[in-house]
Chain A
Amino acid sequence: MTPEAQAPLTKKDFKSDQEVRWCPGCGDYAILNSVQGIMATLGIPRHQICFVSGIGCSSRFPYYMNTYGFHSIHGRAPAIATGIKTANPELSVWMVTGDGDGLSIGGNHMAHILRRNVDLKILLFNNEIYGLTKGQYSPTSPVGLKTKSTPMGSVDRPFDPLSFALGCGATFVARTIDSHLKHMERVLLAAAHHKGTAFVEIYQNCVIFNDACFEDFAEKGVRDEKTIDLKPGEPMVFGKELDKGIKIVGWEPQIVPAAEADLWRSDTHSPGPAFVMSQLHLDPAMPRPIGIVRDVRAPIFEEAVHDQLRAAKAKRGAGTLEQLIYSGETWMV
């Protein structure tokens, strides 16, 4: 990925000629706007960028990016993106998915792309609902949620996308909120610069089928008190006055005065502390963690694949048709 020699790109350069067809007020607009903004700062030419998606509201994303794009089938974006990136490691590959696409029908593929550590960026728009099929519960919907398919309330226990990603061995795990633009930009940039699979969960409000589901902690007025922004290397503090902190005692996080807060380490050898933080919200008294939960280096899948190709060519020479066909034991008639 070499910076383009021409004039620097602007956000506008990344807008495609297609009319954006999300519902008015949808959180997707803010995310699209942020992504287009940060793409312009990365120094990667448009033709070297490829957006891949599955199915769902979020998965329309590639149509609106003036880059290469592949809107695929439900849940399969990780597999398609892996094929693209492995075939051409030069491309900057971005995957856009949702809580249904990425964690339900595509949960298997998501698990495996994360463990392989393919060098691409995954944006998972979590609205805790199925939007495009018009309002059924998702694997992140809370128990009790009344939807079109759960008239008496959902009895499914949800899982936390960050915990899931950590469990899969993801090397970069972060969370942000569609309405928190500055934060989103910072997290997306960190993801863009991560070498390996970057998993970013974005709390995204669905105005039609699950409006205000994150309001309790994401609303601007309460956000500072109800969320904690995990910044690598900095103390885990929160609150409007940054007066409160989190200290992990044994396996238990506790709210303490800011001065006693632990430093947040996103790069520990064990993902244990990150997992503890990813489950913080199970205690209603605790703030919701956002920010960078994990950020470590690990071997890159497609690099290892191409290293093997190079090693095989170095050892046996670049294969010719002759070698391919006239191998093994042959005889003449």
Chain B
Amino acid sequence: MSQSKNPGSELPLQQQEEVVIRFAGDSGDGMQITGNQFTHTSAILGNDLATFPDYPAEIRAPAGTRPGVSAFQVRFGSADIHTPGDQPDVLVAMNPAALIVNIKDLKVGGTVVVNTGQFGDSDLKKAALAKNPLKDGTLSAYRVIEIDINKRVSEALKGTTLSSKEAQRCKNFYTLGLMYWLYSRPLESTLKWLDEKFVKRPELAEANKLAMQAGFNAGDIHELFQGRYEVHACDVMPKGTYRNIMGNDALAIGLVTGAKLANLDVFLGSYPITPASGILETLSTYKNHGVITFQAEDEIAAICSALGAAYAGHLGITSTSGPGMALKGEGMGLAVSIELPLIIVDIQRGGPSTGLPTKTEQADLLQAIFGRNSEAPMPVIAAASPADAFEVGIEAVRIATTYMTPVIVLSDGYIANGAEPWKLPKIEELKPFPKPFLGSVPEGGFLPYARDQHLARPWVKPGTPGLEHRVGGLEKAHLTGHINYEPENHEFMVRMRQNKVMGVRETIPTPNVFGDSTGELLVVGWGSTKGAITSAIEKLHAKGRKVSSLHLRHVWPLPKGLDKIFGCFQSVLVPEMNMGQMARILRSEYPQHNIISYPKVQGLPFRTSELIAKVESLLEK
């Protein structure tokens, strides 16, 4: 760490390569806003970053209790960043519950900023603490910065018209100001955001600005810290235009982009469900892009309305999470049977049943691939990170329209709510793939179930003269699409649908191996584990370990070439946030290889350190 003087301050300015901060407070304390603002400002400064919001399912669990703790972790730095970090360097704890729930994760020697204004006896009692952790040695391994934020905010807002209760709601901006000071961040972006957010209540914008400025000034005035830090812009990020993006937003933008490239209008049928609701909400703001959003009466109506819209010639999309997927099963089967493009987005969360609504998991993989009655094959693709969700959205549209098939997109709570800088594509690099509708009777007559080279049937918009026809969920005769119960025809059609979906392999790439193409161990991931796996492999390479990785975007059908790649390694390790579902698929598809499952089902993403330890334990065997 180099040291320099910060003009206007007596405190030394230290350079840091990267920092992990966790903001933790009550669910009513505005920690998600605080974290998002800090993230946004850091992104604009040019830091690479990754975030991990972690909040309870209850909107306002009893105040001050442990179940009510809401946290937001952000890792930002000047180096390439793949994960929100295993352990925070700094923990901001707004109350005793937030402190006690999160302190175990803080790095030894790390800094904890504590709001002592919220550490009275009743606060300790709410957090089920017999003793005050500020006094009983709990924090002896950390640097503790004690500030009575409640009091400081009251003082800062004395001259305003806000009631004391309203004034206390500005605490999070005081905290944000303090962290902005500590890490030498500008306030402008958040000032602007406050003006926009409270355009109808300027007094609240002003109060929050005052609180933030007070927090910022406190760093200088009160000498709470030994010094300030600087984290320079990331210099390894590829050149281009960036914006900070959360996974649900990136997926929504990707789907609309895909629709535009296919020359289709979007119809989203959706029913609100955590953590997928953001897709419905974001798409509902794209009305000027011709996007129709329909908040249906339930999950079934959501998929059925989207399928109706697909029949009418729109790009039908439905978005949900695991429990909603279970309800959509029959609708998906109908989409398979009538062979229309449809996109089903599953933002996975912990289960079974209602499970852990706000926590992440990858346990819907087998449900996605197999979870329908009878033989109902569908392509399944998975996003690897918030920014990757954009590309996955486009890819889903490409597959759905090219093959006239429903496609499942898997994301999860970690991607949905996490954020990272997204390098925006150049518009001219986005290749259109317009979907032609059949517009008139072709030579030789119209056959609704005729096939093209991809085994896709024609898409006909109702309203097209001369092509009136009927579709439905009953088995259809090859070519004519008439109801047909003949045994041979049924088997023919089952195989036809299967071959069509497996044919997707012909238009998807074999994934690249990260690291050497031969070796002892290949780590295979899919979905949101990519960041943690990449981080782990980088660190293992730095240690000289011979290990490689490969990440699957297309999880069904699997891309070609995996057999050959797996054959160049002694073992294949599959870390996933479920009980080993992808490992099960790989074992059944590639029984000749040694597939080792590494499951984690805690509602939390993998830590880089966990993966490193697992790989090293296998390499040492």
Contacts and interface: CB of A to CB of B under 8 A. Distances in A.
Interface in B436-487: 461-474, 482-483
A305 interface: yes
B238 interface: yes
A16 B470 contact: yes
B243 A330 contact: yes
A4 to B, nearest CB: 10
Interface string B299-339: 01110111111111110100000000000001101100010
Contacts of B300: 76, 79, 109
Contacts of B331: 73, 76
Contacts of B234: 333
B312 A91 contact: yes
Nearest to B330: A73
Nearest to B189: A329
A62 B313 CA distance: 19
A333 B243 contact: no
Interface residues of B, number: 74
Contact of B242 (A74, A86, A313, A333): A333
A331 B467 CA distance: 50
A328 B296 CA distance: 29
Interface string B269-285: 10000000000000000
A87 B309 contact: yes
B43 to A, nearest CB: 7
Nearest to A4: B465
A88 B330 contact: no
A154 interface: no
A88 B461 contact: yes
Nearest to A21: B483
Interface stretch (A41-49, A159-167, A196-204, A221-229): A41-49
A62 B468 CA distance: 11
A217 interface: no
Contacts of A76: 300-301, 304, 330-331
Given A87-B314, A91-B463, A331-B242, A325 B330 contact: no
Nearest to A63: B470
Interface stretch (A181-189, A208-216, A316-324): A316-324
A76 B316 CA distance: 16
B232 to A, nearest CB: 13
Contacts of B301: 76, 78-79, 82, 108-109, 112
A325 B424 contact: yes
A326 B424 contact: yes
B461 A82 contact: no
Contact of A330 (B241, B265, B427, B472): B241
Contacts of A47: 462-468
B343 interface: no
B286 to A, nearest CB: 7
Most buried by A among B46, B269, B462: B462
B288 A325 contact: no
Nearest to B305: A83
B462 A68 contact: yes
A80 B40 contact: no
Interface in A127-170: none
Interface string A280-317: 00000000000000000000000001001101110111
Interface in A61-89: 62-63, 65-74, 76, 78-88
A332 interface: yes
A80 B464 contact: no
B463 A313 contact: no
A107 to B, nearest CB: 11
Interface stretch (B83-91, B113-121, B252-260): B252-260
B578 interface: no
A80 B473 CA distance: 13
A50 interface: yes
B541 interface: no
Contact of A70 (B269, B305, B308, B430): B308
Most buried by B among A48, A86, A325: A325
A88 to B, nearest CB: 4
B204 interface: no
Contacts of B464: 47
A298 B238 CA distance: 56
B10 interface: no
B238 to A, nearest CB: 7
A16 B468 CA distance: 10
A197 to B, nearest CB: 14
Contact of B473 (A65, A71, A326): A71
B292 A80 contact: no
B243 A309 contact: no
Nearest to B471: A70
A76 B302 CA distance: 10
B297 interface: yes
A18 interface: yes
A319 B286 contact: yes
A330 B242 contact: yes
Nearest to A90: B463
B163 to A, nearest CB: 33
Given A86-B294, A88-B461, 17 more contacts: A16-B470, A48-B463, A62-B470, A62-B472, A63-B472, A68-B462, A73-B331, A79-B308, A80-B308, A84-B462, A87-B292, A87-B308, A88-B462, A108-B298, A108-B301, A109-B297, A308-B287
Interface of A: 16, 18, 45-48, 50, 52, 55, 62-63, 65-74, 76, 78-88, 90-91, 108-109, 111-112, 305, 308-309, 311-313, 315-319, 321-322, 324-333
18 contacts: A46-B468, A47-B462, A47-B463, A62-B472, A67-B468, A68-B469, A69-B469, A72-B473, A79-B308, A80-B311, A83-B269, A86-B294, A87-B265, A109-B304, A111-B297, A324-B256, A325-B253, A333-B234
Interface of B: 40, 43-44, 46, 189, 233-234, 237-245, 253, 256-257, 260, 265, 267, 269, 286-290, 292, 294, 296-298, 300-302, 304-314, 316, 330-331, 333-334, 338, 423-425, 427, 430, 461-474, 482-483
